[in-house]
Amino acid sequence: MTPLRMTLPQETIRAKRDGRALEPAQIQAFIAGLMDGRVTEGQAAAFAMAVYFQKLSLPERVALTDALMRSGTVLEWDLPGPVLDKHSTGGVGDAVSLALAPLVAACGGYVPMITGRGLGHTGGTVDKLASIPGYDVRPDLDRFRRVSRDVGCCVIGQTPDLAPADARLYAIRDVTGTVESLDLITASILSKKLAAGLDGLVMDVKIGSGAFMESLDAARGLGEAIVGVAGGAGLNTVALVTDMDSPLASAAGNALEVAYTLDYLAGRVRESAFHTITLELGAEMLVLGGLAVDLPAARERLTEALDTGRAQEIFSRMVTALGGPADLAEHPDRYLARAEIVRAVTAPEPGFVARVATRSIGLAVIGLGGGRTRPQDTIDPAVGFTGLARVGEAVGPDRPLGVIHARSVDAADAAEAALRAAYGVAEGSVGATPLLRDRIA
């Protein structure tokens, strides 16, 4: 193969399709072509599928991560505290980022968090924030820097400046069945985080029926890949493997999860699973940033910041600084979209939740209009579920499986059928799986 042919997109695709290792120059040329139009969307989809089946070696992962990162600006910070971030592989009801960023900022960290759109059956943090009227999910780089510095946290979607090639590949993965590729997940996550100029990163690798990784071995593999590639790039990283056999929060849907977060920060809601995972991830961030001597001390700091209302205040300041309403926390019903039809779904017989097909609930949110089946699809922020039951909880006439928020009777009927099919109820009590399954440092 001549150097010229090495850079042709079809030759790169063919080489990976046939299981051959790619040289860094091939990967760099392919990603550059994705940016300047020499690589088509179809070719990028073919490349993603080839990687999905044939995998990447560690050097290939590093090269892909580097190429995506260098497709845009790489930030440098001069702040009085550590620059920290957290990333989740995604799940259902996973609104942790919305609460965690202001919580860590309230403890002295700086959290310039670049988040993604919904991917597959999982909800996207940027889609949740977009349900807040006026909130600028893609500010320019100057505004991103300014809000991060002045408020302490700034949660946004990918900007045109930071890892723009990843944004293009990300949207293609969402609709081509290549979401679950460990290699593509690793490169996608770390390209954005390295471009953001972090001092420390905590990775939340979800495992279970609502996660992309359904086995512990696969989740550990991703955690090790993230920690390994990040460490090689000089970024201190810890990965936690956490449970997604049930929706993490009892709400799933964009505006509904924002409302849930506001309730959590205000102390109106403190569901055990969501609270525990938020504190564990936040504690790891504080220790990585030198803001706490150990995890117990970090949990105490986070709890105090939550209970005193400092985290809620910082969230409100962030919303206002990015164009959202100043009184969102006090009057969420004035601003967050609401669906016309609200319907509780009860179990056929009372009992205890024995299993939840959590992925199916995420897909049902998409069916209601709360997610995408094509990159260009718009999202209805109002639809989704609240009151979702977790494994081990009692359900019956006074405790439904969940509550549907829909725009039409037909949509509500379809969501009800999906919700009933997603839950298995047993007569006797059932123990839930542990929330924290592993830690990789």
Instruction: Say which of 12, 71, 89, 125 is annotated catalytic.
Output: 125
**How far is the first Cα of the chain from the last one, in angstroms, to the nearest whole number?**
41
Q: Is 85 a catalytic residue?
A: yes
Name the residue type at position 384.
Answer: G
For the question of residue 87 being annotated catalytic, the response is yes
Exactly one of 12, 65, 71, 88 is catalytic; which is it?
Answer: 88
Of how many residues is the chain composed?
A: 441
Tokens for 184?
A: 């593509």
Catalytic residue (choose from 86, 317, 390, 405): 86
Of 328, 279, 281, nearest in space to 300 by CA? 279
Instruction: Please indicate whether residue 125 is annotated as part of the active site.
Output: yes
Q: Among the options 61, 121, 168, 192, which is catalytic?
A: 192
Burial-class residue 427 by CB neighbours within 10 Å (0-12, 13-18, 19+). Answer: exposed
Choose, from 16, 61, 71, 85, the residue flagged as catalytic: 85
Is residue 166 part of the annotated active site? The answer reads no
Q: Which of 87, 206, 359, 372 is catalytic?
A: 87
DSSP-derived letter for residue 336 is S
* Alpha-carbon distance values, 202 to 120, 193, 352 (Å): 22, 11, 34
88 is catalytic: yes
CA 230 to chain CA centroid, Å, is 18
Active site residue 193: yes
Q: Which of 71, 159, 188, 237 is catalytic?
A: 188
405, 177, 432, 371: CA torsion to nearest 10: -20
Q: Decide if 16 is catalytic.
A: no
Consecutive H or E run containing 200: strand 200-207
- Which residue in 16, 61, 117, 193 is the catalytic one? 193
Catalytic residue among 61, 128, 168, 173: 173
Read off the amino acid at residue 91. G
Catalytic residues: 85-88, 125, 173, 188, 192-193
